[in-house]
Structure 1
Amino acid sequence: MMKGNKGEWTEIYTFLKLLGEGKLYSADEDLEKIEDIYYPILKIFREADNRNYELNDVVKIINSDSKEVIKEISISNFLEQSEILLEKIKKASGSSFGFPEIERYMKSIDCNTLKSKSGNKRDITIKIHDKFTNSNPKLGFSIKSKLGGNSTLFNASKRTNFLYKLKGCSFSEKEIKEINSIKYKKDKIKRIEQNCEIIYYDMCDERFKSNLQVIDSRLPEIMANMVFKYYKTSGLTRINDLTAELKNENPCGYVSEDHNFYEYKIKNFLIDAALGMTSASIWDGEFDATGGYIVVKEDGEILCYHLYNYNKFKSYLYNNTRLEASSTNKYDYADIFKKEDEFFIKFNLQVRFTD
């Protein structure tokens, strides 16, 4: 049986729904439909299944190698199945589950895989008609679901740890053990700062550091200050609020008060994270999700942020994301450690969408 979480099943829902509706609507910065901006869908590609699904009066299922039409299916059939799947996703519980009825239907349309290739930001590949350029581009979109819990925009790992030096203090082994046993990170930071200053020292992974520097040379320092501010301050989690704090404190010492240095750089990080940049792979600035973002709302409505709506997309990400603390045991951070005669602590970066 095929099993997946709500996000993975949402990819199948999106595939079926778009074939049934035949168009992809754009969203504004508040994730509301823009009625007069949409893209007619010409074809959806399922590379893992070696099938193309071409929309006309019916949906033609085509072998992507031989170009042979294998079968033709009514468009309304896809819409009906998407509505059935939507209700099942909404009612499902647990971390992984299957829907035998949906699986049987998927196999009947030669759709035998649940998820796109691991590691891609691109979850679905669509050929659309672009009325602005009168062209028919083949574009990759990342899919984010609001049907389950809030999705992550940028995943945590040991690579996303930032290293901070404890300046001006010396702790005994007993004191380190005592401080490290403090449960809440904000209390731990408060205890440390009674004796010393916590300052950004370096990033723990050179590849991720270089990826951030590709976006902006000062971005490692900016993100480190944001991460530390999040762990230190109660109730301050949203990216836009944290960025406002950075602007006020100006840790990079920018001279002009009229330029939104921090907001601009943070937005660029969010865009790159959304469309291709990870901590693990070398970032060359080439988007994997070449079309943009598809968001599936709580009621099942599907909207997109096409890269033509770049500014709306940036605003949406900036106003609808937050930092989140990941597992300290899994990612090895938030404990003091000693290296030679100096003391350090690490804090971790993870970005998740807000409610």
Structure 2
Amino acid sequence: MALTGNKGEWSEIYTLLKLLGEGKVYAGDQNLNKIQSLFYPIIMILRQEKDGNFNYKLQDKDVVIQTPEGEELLRIQASVFLVEAEDLLKAINENDGSFAIPQIEIFMSRIHCHSLKAKSADKTDIRIILHDRRTNMNSEMGFSIKSQLGGDSTLLNASKATNFNFKIEGVSLSTDDINRINSLDSKRNKVIDRVNAIKNKGGRLVFDKVDNFTFRNNLIMLDGDLPAIIAHLLLEQLDSGVSTLKELADVITKTNPLGYDTKQSSPFYAYKIKHLLTSAALGMMPATAWDGKFDANGGYLVVKKDGEILCYHFYDRNRFEDFLFLNAYLERSSTTRHEYASIIKENDGTLSFKLNFQVRLR
């Protein structure tokens, strides 16, 4: 059966081929520009397949495919991988939805690569042994791959676990009022329309809790104020229409809803949001109890629209966090799922309204 996948899934194979062909990966700055003076030579890429583990070792101008014990299975010139990568990039750009690329699958089979996604139970998409020229050390790192070849990548997926519950206070709504507000269904602004309808009735949304106790605990472990900060971000997005985390953080820094002592101009909100983004990028999942450890301990590999691959190494933590902070934005999820953006009458007679927390990278 032919392998089929979307642009993001095929991007993982593109990353494997491109990196093996080039033998190094350049660091990127916060604006997705290559830093010419900073690159990491690739020693080896390690890949887990259903039928075993394989190492792709860079040796002179060749790629040597080995077993974990060092037995050589195949040796191919690295330049061949670059040609295959270019052909794959062209095919990815020419297709949409889920698609097969038979000519690439033939080459994949030749190099013992039989699936689009390497086996992984965490956020690691590819494991690489990199050489750090600054420390003169080789280190095995797990990286998450984010591709711009398709739609914007998800940093934190929407689910019922990412619902933030708000109480509607200051107004009493009848069943007819509730049904009318919940039926507002303009294609682009239905959430804003529903919130404005509540406000027009004299109501206001007051943060109550993060619905899912696991996600709530994960956030509190990172920082006890994060649930309230995220709630203010969600409300500010609806009020202002601003969606980027950087701009939203700037707004709530000025309004200071948590009442931090700002005499010394400490970046309370930006710091806490960056910490959240980094944790979500490298290890934390909303519905899974998190131990605080990063799975993708290397950082991010970003596949740009032109096929260039940039490395955001966790060793350069400030640059990595700035990249996330400047490129992350809130996206409103579907109102047909997760009880999102509907008024719910609770058993105690109170009214709840749920907003969902979903973050993408542009």
Which band: TM-score by shorter chain?
over 0.9
User: 1:108 matched to which residue of 2?
Assistant: 110
Residue 210 of structure 2, aligned match among 194, 203, 227: 203
Distance, in Å, in 2 between the alignment partners of 1:234 and 1:255 is 25
Distance, in Å, in 1 between the alignment partners of 2:182 and 2:19 is 51
Maintained 8 Å contact 1:61/1:70 = yes
Distance, in Å, in 1 between the alignment partners of 2:75 and 2:131 is 21
Structure 1's 267 and 298: CA in aligned 2 closer, same or farther, altered over 3 A? same
Maintained 8 Å contact 1:271/1:317 = yes
Code of the residue aligned with 1:69 in structure 2: it is: E
User: 1:61 matched to which residue of 2?
Assistant: 65
Distance, in Å, in 2 between the alignment partners of 1:44 and 1:119 is 18
User: 1:134 matched to which residue of 2?
Assistant: 136
1:141-160 to 2 correspondence within 5 Å? 141-160=143-162
Code of the residue aligned with 1:201 in structure 2: it is: D
Residue 75 of structure 1, aligned match among 78, 85, 88: 78
Maintained 8 Å contact 1:62/1:69 = yes
1:83-122 to 2 correspondence within 5 Å? 83-93=86-96, 95-117=97-119, 119-122=121-124
Distance, in Å, in 1 between the alignment partners of 2:119 and 2:194 is 41
Residue 127 of structure 2, aligned match among 125, 131, 146: 125
SS at match of 2:289: coil
Aligned-pair CA distance for 1:234:
4.9
Residue 214 of structure 1, aligned match among 201, 214, 221: 221
Aligned-pair CA distance for 1:283:
1.7
C-alpha offsets along residues 269-319 of structure 1, whole Å, 9 cap, x if unaligned? 111111111102112221111111101111111110111221111111111
Q: After TM superposition, what 4+ stretches of structure 1 lie above 3 angstroms from structure 2?
A: none
Aligned-pair CA distance for 1:159:
0.2
User: 1:301 matched to which residue of 2?
Assistant: 308
Q: TM-score, normalized by length of structure 1? A: 0.96
SS at match of 1:47: strand
* Residue 334 (structure 2) pairs with residue 331 (structure 1): no
Distance, in Å, in 2 between the alignment partners of 1:117 and 1:346 is 35
User: 1:25 matched to which residue of 2?
Assistant: 26
Moved more, 201-210 or 184-193: 184-193
Distance, in Å, in 2 between the alignment partners of 1:130 and 1:234 is 44
Code of the residue aligned with 2:261 in structure 1: it is: V
Code of the residue aligned with 1:289 in structure 2: it is: A
Distance, in Å, in 1 between the alignment partners of 2:353 and 2:259 is 24
Q: Percent identity?
A: 46
Aligned-pair CA distance for 1:119:
4.3
Q: How many residues align?
A: 351
User: 1:247 matched to which residue of 2?
Assistant: 253
1:13-52 to 2 correspondence within 5 Å? 13-48=14-49, 49-52=52-55
* Residue 326 (structure 2) pairs with residue 319 (structure 1): yes
Maintained 8 Å contact 1:186/1:234 = no
Distance, in Å, in 1 between the alignment partners of 2:203 and 2:79 is 66
User: 2:175 matched to which residue of 1?
Assistant: 173
C-alpha offsets along residues 87-129 of structure 1, whole Å, 9 cap, x if unaligned? 1111112x21010000011001111111133542111100011
User: 2:196 matched to which residue of 1?
Assistant: 190
Code of the residue aligned with 1:341 in structure 2: it is: G
C-alpha offsets along residues 243-287 of structure 1, whole Å, 9 cap, x if unaligned? 111112211111224111101101111111111111021122211
Code of the residue aligned with 2:268 in structure 1: it is: F
Q: TM-score, normalized by length of structure 2? A: 0.94
User: 1:269 matched to which residue of 2?
Assistant: 276
Maintained 8 Å contact 2:212/2:287 = no
User: 1:351 matched to which residue of 2?
Assistant: 359
Code of the residue aligned with 2:117 in structure 1: it is: K
Distance, in Å, in 1 between the alignment partners of 2:41 and 2:193 is 54
User: 2:164 matched to which residue of 1?
Assistant: 162
Code of the residue aligned with 1:222 in structure 2: it is: I
User: 1:342 matched to which residue of 2?
Assistant: 350
Code of the residue aligned with 1:300 in structure 2: it is: G
Aligned-pair CA distance for 1:211:
0.7
C-alpha offsets along residues 212-238 of structure 1, whole Å, 9 cap, x if unaligned? 1111110011011111222x2253111
User: 2:7 matched to which residue of 1?
Assistant: 6
Distance, in Å, in 2 between the alignment partners of 1:133 and 1:150 is 34
Code of the residue aligned with 1:239 in structure 2: it is: L
Distance, in Å, in 2 between the alignment partners of 1:187 and 1:129 is 53
User: 1:238 matched to which residue of 2?
Assistant: 244
